[in-house]
């Protein structure tokens, strides 16, 4: 295998902060010389990426009202990734990290393309009604969405290998794309959070409650924060704090409730304090992985989660948290009552076993597993390519002799 492989990472868009963005920081640390490609980069809202060598698509030159809007920029996104010039041999290895279109890049036959899949394109395959709740709007968009599904399935054939961030995502990869994916959990940097724990502070937080449940999520439809607002607005005796930004912010904050507080984005030192003082982290969404569940457990905060998706892999029931079977207000209320009866035991258990629970998600583990898989797949691809080139050369020689 060649030394000093030239590597590139391709991500959908760099314009926010969340669990996946923490993964990108880890990859940048692992491969500091690697280039990053993305459809759109917002330097203000993604200042954490300022040290990355970033290559943008033409979408960065479009007017703000288009490039900052997922719906308006949607028709341009497939072309944005296909327009990157990977056809000529620039990179030995390209890794697309994606929940939508980054996997659609077109590479040289000499370049190994590995897709680290966050989930098959969510608004096409699983959550159309969530993203397009208006039946008339959905009906009008159906022909275009069906076209995008066909394109997305075809684009999913372009990567040579797949990795998935959870078993739940691996199963979806097989279901929607017919592709097998090896599960590699995203890295949880224990050393980083140990340092943050020492700096936990509420100095700049204006928290209105002494007791509260906590939600930490992008304010997007699939995160189901509207479900929590609906529940807590009807139960003023319980308090909810929401951390995060997103397109649903104005809608969720349209009404003011005395027991619900939105804090927007907070620093990790402040997030640490919130986890330490919350009754529980509440996750009503079907998570692909659920990085916040790991954060909560690290700080001794139990998790109350929907019994679907990645949460089933990151949270041990009755030890680190509790599950509710479906998104139903009555079911959720019963789950909260059950949780409150065992909350003390869960917190005590997490204080003793948090590091044990988080070990398989550790950065140390990721730093071994992820690079080894990249090397394994690259070597396999190179070997197959060598055989193919020899075969093609032999066929050309044979055809020349008989012509």
Evaluate if residue 370 carries a pLDDT over 60: yes
pLDDT of residue 395: 41
Topology (CATH level 3) of domain 7-187+362-402: Rossmann fold (3.40.50)
Structure tokens that stand for 258 in this block: 């005395």
pLDDT of residue 394: 47
Residues 182, 167: Cα–Cα separation, whole Å: 8
pLDDT of residue 388: 59
- 240-251 confidence digits (pLDDT tens): 999 999 889 999
Residue environment code for 378-394, b if the CB has 16+ CB neighbours within 10 A, otherwise e: beebbeeeeeeeeeeee
Average pLDDT of every residue of the chain: 91
Residues 256, 248: Cα–Cα separation, whole Å: 15
pLDDT of residue 125: 92
Evaluate if residue 36 carries a pLDDT over 50: yes
- 92-119 confidence digits (pLDDT tens): 999 999 999 999 999 988 899 999 999 9
Question: Which residues are paired to 19 by β-bridges?
Answer: none
In the chain, what is the straight-line distance between the N-terminal and C-terminal CA atoms, in Å?
A: 37
Query: In the structure, what pLDDT confidence band is assigned to residue 1 with cuts at 50, 70 and 90?
Result: very low
Are 7-187+362-402 and 190-358 equal in CATH topology? yes
Evaluate if residue 396 carries a pLDDT over 60: no
CA atoms within 13 A on the CB side of 382: 12
Evaluate if residue 387 carries a pLDDT over 70: no
pTM assigned to the model:
0.88
pLDDT of residue 231: 97
Residues 292, 287: Cα–Cα separation, whole Å: 10
pLDDT of residue 398: 35
Residues 106, 86: Cα–Cα separation, whole Å: 6
- pLDDT above 70 covers what percent of the chain? 94
Superfamily of domain 190-358: Glycogen Phosphorylase B; (3.40.50.2000)
Mean pLDDT of 148-169: 97
- 159-199 confidence digits (pLDDT tens): 999 999 999 999 999 999 999 999 999 999 999 999 999 99
pLDDT of residue 130: 81
Q: What is the DSSP letter of 309?
A: B
Give me the residue spans of the domains in the chain.
7-187+362-402, 190-358
* Angle, vertex CA 132, rays to CA 131 and CA 137, nearest 5: 160
- 278-334 confidence digits (pLDDT tens): 999 999 999 999 999 999 999 999 999 999 999 999 999 999 999 999 999 999 999
């Amino acid at each position: 295998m060649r030394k000093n492989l030239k590597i590139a990472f391709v991500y959908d868009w760099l314009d926010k902060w969340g669990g996946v963005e923490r993964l990108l920081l880890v990859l940048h640390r692992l491969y500091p010389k690697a280039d990053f490609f993305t459809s759109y980069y917002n330097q203000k809202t993604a200042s954490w990426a300022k040290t990355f060598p970033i290559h943008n698509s033409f979408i960065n030159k479009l007017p703000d009202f288009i490039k900052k809007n997922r719906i308006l920029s949607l028709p341009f996104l497939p072309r944005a990734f296909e327009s990157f010039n990977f056809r000529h041999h620039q990179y030995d290895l390209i890794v697309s990290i994606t929940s939508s279109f980054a996997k659609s890049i077109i590479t040289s036959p000499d370049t190994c393309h590995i897709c680290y899949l966050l989930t098959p394109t969510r608004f096409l395959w699983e959550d159309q009604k969530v993203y397009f709740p208006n039946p008339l709007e959905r009906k009008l968009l159906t022909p275009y969405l069906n076209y995008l599904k066909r394109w997305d399935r075809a684009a999913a054939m372009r990567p040579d290998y797949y990795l998935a961030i959870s078993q739940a995502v691996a199963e979806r990869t097989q279901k929607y794309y017919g592709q097998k994916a090896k599960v590699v959990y995203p890295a949880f940097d224990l050393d980083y959070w140990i340092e943050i724990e020492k700096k936990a502070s509420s100095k700049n937080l204006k928290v209105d409650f002494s007791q509260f449940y906590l939600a930490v999520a992008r304010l997007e439809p699939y995160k189901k924060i509207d479900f929590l607002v609906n529940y807590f607005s009807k139960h003023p005796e319980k308090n909810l704090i929401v951390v995060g930004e997103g397109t649903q912010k104005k809608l969720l904050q349209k009404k003011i409730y005395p027991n619900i507080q939105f804090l927007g984005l907070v620093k990790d030192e402040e997030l640490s304090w919130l986890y330490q003082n919350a009754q529980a982290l509440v996750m009503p969404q079907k998570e692909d992985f659920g990085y916040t569940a790991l954060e909560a457990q690290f700080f001794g905060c139990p998790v109350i989660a929907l019994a679907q998706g990645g949460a089933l892999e990151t949270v041990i029931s009755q030890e680190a948290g509790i599950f509710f079977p479906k998104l139903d207000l009555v079911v959720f209320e019963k789950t909260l009552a059950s949780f409150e009866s065992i909350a003390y035991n869960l917190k005590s258990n997490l204080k003793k076993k948090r590091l044990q629970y988080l070990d398989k998600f550790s950065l140390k583990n990721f730093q071994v597993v992820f690079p080894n898989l990249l090397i394994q797949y690259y070597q396999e691809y190179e070997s197959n390519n060598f055989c193919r080139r020899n075969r093609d050369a032999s066929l050309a020689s044979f055809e020349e002799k008989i012509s």
